[in-house]
Structure 1
Amino acid sequence: MMSSSNSVHTPQRRSNLGTNPFSTPIRLSRAPSVDQLNGSENSSSYTPLAGIHQPHRRKFKSARLIDGEYDEKPWATTKHPRLKFERIIFYGAMGIGLVIGAVICYMAYASVSNHSYCLVLDDEFRSINRDVWNFEVQRGGFGSGTFEWTTDDPKNAYTDAEGLHIVPTLTLETTDITKAQMIDNYVLNLTTAGTCTATGINDCSIRSNITSGAIINPIRSARLSTKGKKFITYGKVEVIAKMPKGNWLWPAIWMMPERDTYGKWPASGEIDIAESRGNNGDDYPSGGRDSLIGAMHWGPVPEKDAFYKTTGQHLIRRTDYSQSFHTFGVEWSEDYLFTYIDSRLLQVFFTKFTKYRNMWDRGGFGEVTVNKSALFDPWSQTGKRNTPFDHPFYLILNVAVGGTNGFFPDGVGNKPWGDFSETGPKEFWDGQGSWLPTWGEGDKRGMTVKSVKMWKQGAC
């Protein structure tokens, strides 16, 4: 039956909610405003919700307000007894941490080897001292298939106020050989000229031939060494140098053994203190002149050179090694060998000889074969863990160009020749339009060496 009023009759329901006002449905005409909720003077038009109890609003009163005035930090006037123990725990933990840190630092310092050394070479290159340095003159690529012909020409190695400069030059610019002769029907014989320091025929002579693609080395450079004059077995070497700028330039500061005590390379070892590439690092993924490589080469035969187990690379950002001088060093003892840049703390790679029984085991050479034949162990008979790095090594400074041993990987950086090509030097020369413009002017395309120091381990 309809009521005569406008309201809607809502039947009563039983509920176990007691007098909860929300048990009865309600209807809102509109939502309350902020002023209405805050109880402001403008809330007179607000009608409380029907059936809902309106609680008394308690006026906020700060706990710090006492007798009309604020009490300043009452918690500071009465100290909790627990605070005393918190301070003891805090400062005690700090003290224990400092003691532990000091012990760790001391143990680390005590574990660092600090040998005594005797200075055997200190050269700041006022001139090229022939009592210290040899010029290695040949054209055969030094086992790496590089394209330069090394000379003792003052255009390729000279000194000035900055130090020693080793600078590659174009053969056509620094000799009377013509372009036609470089490509065909010209004989270069360094043995006849009395300058070749190697013994192999191919290292000392070549005939250009347009049919076979053999050409006279298109680049001349220099390679200096201290072989037979200055060498060490254990010690340190530090070279302050600046690297060259130019695609396919290969600067190196490295060491080779005085004698092939354990056999031909790499059986008697090689120590690379610092190698780089002259290419722009931004365009050369393998690492250009922003990259520095240190390594040890060792293996019973060339096919099993285990340098990848003892190598490291360091990259610098926003600059490169052709922009300023750096110290490139090696520290070598019976127990370890590492190379570094500027400080012993910035190590490029570190090798601990005592980690393995010997270098034969370290390389796992007893588990491999070459041409289905087991490898001969040239080192273990010494009973030393570090053989072949236990005999005298001398220092080499050089700037090579190109090469076919994989240092410049095929297919990277628009490389204009192939490692397995029989005409690699000609392919390189034919691509001069891509690399010659990248070479720095004057000595910028060369390595500049400010000084060399060499120490042997032990007292003088």
Structure 2
Amino acid sequence: MDYRHNGTATTTAQTTPMRPGTPENEAITPAVRTNPFGTPYGSLPASGMGSTSALNMQSQRYFHSRRIKKGEVERPWLDRKDPKEKWVTIIPIIGIFIGLAVSGFLVWDGLRTVVNHVYCPVLDETFSGGLNSKVWTKEVEVGGFGNGQFEQTTNTDENAFIQNGMLHIKPTLQDPKLMDTNNVINLLDSKQCTSTIWSNCVAATNTTNGTVVNPVKSARINTKAGATIKYGRVEVVAQLPAGDWLWPAIWMLPVNDTYGPWPTSGEIDIMESRGNNYTYAQGGNNIVSSTLHWGPNPSNDGWWQNNVKRNALHTTYSKGFHTFGLEWSEKYVFSYIDTRLLQVLYANFDKPFWQKGNFPVSDSNGTRLTDPWSQTGRDSTPFDQDFYLILNVAVGGTNGWFKDGASGKPWVDASPTAKRDFWDARKQWEPTWKKDGQMIVKSVKMWQQQGYKGCR
């Protein structure tokens, strides 16, 4: 709005509002607007409030609460009690006490049943002085040890030798001349055969029918000559091989066939594995198994009733050394890896093995089966005799350890040319042996349980 005064134009930026219907010279003073985000009323100075009513607001606050006294709020739930509600608390408490009691009992029972036997040392082998011939025997044969294995076991340093203070058991290829032409390996002529069975000492290549001598060579050594135990402990520190169709084993056989030929007198497998990698259908070098063999004849072997497998944790057994152990007493036998707490096989001798086996009345050809162990009156029979230790790396076989048709297996167990078929596929499997295709043994320890075999 323009006001002209003495010819001069004066512009008022802010004009005092006029109440409608009043003279222009009566200005209205607007009320003071307080800042809602400013200082609370109670803290404003009196001069800033602008009126008596504003002064009365100095003591006001934004919010004033009143403390509710205890007992003023009604709690009807205290007057109406449901007798079932208390069990919501009682039942979990009872469950906790029962759980603690059961856990305590299991711990107590476990400690009560663990027997800490006293032992006498039988063998403490570190191989620092070589392979002691008074303890170790290199087996020489071509028979495949009843499993149709493909290796010829030798007594040469090619397949079993000491290197860097450790025992190496290493499979190698057979001489191609023995494979490709008619030949005979006769270990009887050289008087090297360690078996008393003729078929374990002679092998032949016949180019007409496709049969061949053992396509690979390896080693199998045992402690039969110098270290045996009847109840006790065994610990072998070893690194297992990596390579297709390799079959490493740490196991025990009886010194004498007291109750009859295998498996009547028993066999203890501390560790068996396969050299194939972890992708192999039946489990490769990431798995080991342990079992007992026992039965009235090979067709009735109760091994499957106590066969147990153990997987390596995020690794394989060919990546480093592990302790493969056995504890064996008149009451039980168990195998373990690295520590007794990590058990693999556990078998109680709590009833006769004939009862455990549930064997048929007769075998497939009608021959009646009889109990070969009951005359002793011991539940541990046949595992109540002197046993010796065996270390070996087998190759292939025709007993089903490597399943037909699985993971590119290049032979069929029932084929008469199984060994030839395996040999013909050597360009596939031999390269997998190059890096770690051997079992390396750092040490072997054997103890005899006190009270047996001169351990007093």
What TM-score does the superposition give when structure 2 sets the normalisation length? 0.76
**Match 2:440 to one of 443, 448, 453:** 448
| Match of residue 365 from structure 1 | 359
**Match 1:211 to one of 204, 208, 213:** 208
Q: What amino acid sits opposite 2:181 in the alignment? A: D
Regions of 4+ moved over 6 Å: 70-75, 87-100
The CA RMSD measured in Å over matched residues stands at 2.7
CA deviation map 1:261-290 (0-9, x unaligned): 0111000000000000001121x1111111
CA deviation map 1:74-128 (0-9, x unaligned): 89xxxx9xxxxxx999999989976775554333212212211111111011110
Instruction: Kindly indicate whether residue 387 of structure 2 is the aligned counterpart of residue 398 of structure 1.
Output: no
Q: What amino acid sits opposite 2:423 in the alignment? A: W
| Match of residue 159 from structure 1 | 162
| Match of residue 287 from structure 1 | 283
| Match of residue 17 from structure 1 | none
Instruction: Kindly indicate whether residue 249 of structure 2 is the aligned counterpart of residue 252 of structure 1.
Output: yes
In the alignment, the residues of structure 2 paired with residue 100 and residue 201 of structure 1 have an alpha-carbon distance, to the nearest angstrom, of 59
**1:352/1:73 Cα in 2 relative to 1: closer, same or farther (>3 Å)?**
farther
Residue 361 of structure 1 aligns to a residue in which SS?
helix
In the alignment, the residues of structure 2 paired with residue 214 and residue 93 of structure 1 have an alpha-carbon distance, to the nearest angstrom, of 69
In the alignment, the residues of structure 2 paired with residue 316 and residue 413 of structure 1 have an alpha-carbon distance, to the nearest angstrom, of 20
| Match of residue 153 from structure 2 | 150
Structure 2: unaligned runs, 5 residues or longer:
1-62, 72-77, 79-88
Kindly report which structure 2 residues correspond to 1:93-104, keeping only aligned pairs within 5 A, or say none: 101-102=103-104, 104=106
Higher Cα radius of gyration: 2
In the alignment, the residues of structure 2 paired with residue 116 and residue 296 of structure 1 have an alpha-carbon distance, to the nearest angstrom, of 24
| Match of residue 124 from structure 2 | 122
Residue 259 of structure 2 aligns to a residue in which SS?
coil
**Match 1:112 to one of 114, 124, 131:** 114
Residue 330 of structure 1 aligns to a residue in which SS?
strand
Q: What amino acid sits opposite 2:140 in the alignment? A: V
Structure 1: unaligned runs, 5 residues or longer:
1-66, 81-86, 173-178
In the alignment, the residues of structure 1 paired with residue 240 and residue 102 of structure 2 have an alpha-carbon distance, to the nearest angstrom, of 44
Cα offset for 1:142? 1.1
Cα offset for 1:370? 3.1
| Match of residue 12 from structure 2 | none
Q: What amino acid sits opposite 1:117 in the alignment? A: Y
Cα offset for 1:424? 1.3
Residue 121 of structure 1 aligns to a residue in which SS?
strand
| Match of residue 8 from structure 2 | none
In the alignment, the residues of structure 1 paired with residue 411 and residue 263 of structure 2 have an alpha-carbon distance, to the nearest angstrom, of 26
Residue 146 of structure 2 aligns to a residue in which SS?
coil
Q: What amino acid sits opposite 1:313 in the alignment? A: K
CA deviation map 1:368-390 (0-9, x unaligned): 53312320211111111121111
Confirm or deny: 8 A CA contact 1:184 1:215 kept in the other structure: no
Cα offset for 1:72? 12
Q: What amino acid sits opposite 1:122 in the alignment? A: D
Confirm or deny: 8 A CA contact 1:313 1:348 kept in the other structure: yes
Cα offset for 1:152? 1.3
| Match of residue 228 from structure 2 | 231
Residue 356 of structure 2 aligns to a residue in which SS?
helix
**Match 1:343 to one of 333, 339, 345:** 339
Q: What amino acid sits opposite 2:292 in the alignment? A: M
Kindly report which structure 2 residues correspond to 1:157-196, keeping only aligned pairs within 5 A, or say none: 157-161=160-164, 163-172=166-175, 179-196=176-193
Q: What amino acid sits opposite 1:455 in the alignment? A: W
Identity of aligned residues (%): 48
**1:91/1:237 Cα in 2 relative to 1: closer, same or farther (>3 Å)?**
same
In the alignment, the residues of structure 2 paired with residue 222 and residue 145 of structure 1 have an alpha-carbon distance, to the nearest angstrom, of 15
In the alignment, the residues of structure 2 paired with residue 171 and residue 372 of structure 1 have an alpha-carbon distance, to the nearest angstrom, of 42
In the alignment, the residues of structure 2 paired with residue 73 and residue 395 of structure 1 have an alpha-carbon distance, to the nearest angstrom, of 85
**1:91/1:279 Cα in 2 relative to 1: closer, same or farther (>3 Å)?**
closer
**1:103/1:136 Cα in 2 relative to 1: closer, same or farther (>3 Å)?**
same
Residue 373 of structure 1 aligns to a residue in which SS?
coil
In the alignment, the residues of structure 2 paired with residue 276 and residue 261 of structure 1 have an alpha-carbon distance, to the nearest angstrom, of 29
Confirm or deny: 8 A CA contact 1:183 1:214 kept in the other structure: no
**Match 2:427 to one of 425, 428, 433:** 433
Cα offset for 1:207? 2.7
CA deviation map 1:44-69 (0-9, x unaligned): xxxxxxxxxxxxxxxxxxxxxxx936
Residue 381 of structure 1 aligns to a residue in which SS?
helix
Q: What amino acid sits opposite 2:383 in the alignment? A: F
Confirm or deny: 8 A CA contact 1:228 1:258 kept in the other structure: no
| Match of residue 296 from structure 2 | 300
Confirm or deny: 8 A CA contact 1:183 1:216 kept in the other structure: no
CA deviation map 1:413-456 (0-9, x unaligned): 11111111112111110111221122133xx2110011111111
| Match of residue 371 from structure 2 | 377
What TM-score does the superposition give when structure 1 sets the normalisation length? 0.76
Q: What amino acid sits opposite 2:287 in the alignment? A: S
Point out the structure with the larger helix share: 1
In the alignment, the residues of structure 1 paired with residue 66 and residue 284 of structure 2 have an alpha-carbon distance, to the nearest angstrom, of 71
**1:170/1:104 Cα in 2 relative to 1: closer, same or farther (>3 Å)?**
closer
In the alignment, the residues of structure 1 paired with residue 446 and residue 208 of structure 2 have an alpha-carbon distance, to the nearest angstrom, of 49
